[in-house]
Amino acid sequence: MFSKKIPEALPEEDTSVWSCISGDCKGWMRTNFVFQEEPVCPLCGSAMAQEIRLLPVLMNSTKNAAFP
């Protein structure tokens, strides 16, 4: 029996996000969850810019029925 435990890495995907334009601020939101055309940062109130980040795939979708 080979039962080596392989650490399960979370799958990641390129995800469109809104990112705060303030360099000191870590504020960002997934674009999928933002419904304003020009959102402002919830942390500091600055404008936000869209960018692509590599983020863990969200597992709370009912489409992912294959996952326990």
29 contacts Zn ion (rule: CB under 5 A): no
Q: To the nearest whole angstrom, how small is the minimum distance from the Cβ of residue 15 to Zn ion? A: 18
Q: Is 48 in the site for Zn ion (CB under 5 A)?
A: no
Closer residue to Zn ion (CB): 15 or 46: 46
Instruction: List the beta strands (DSSP E) in 1-68.
Output: 12-20, 28-30, 48-56
How far is the C-alpha of 8 from the C-alpha of 6, rounded, in Å?
6
Binding region for Zn ion (CB under 5 A): 20, 22, 25, 27, 41, 43-44, 46
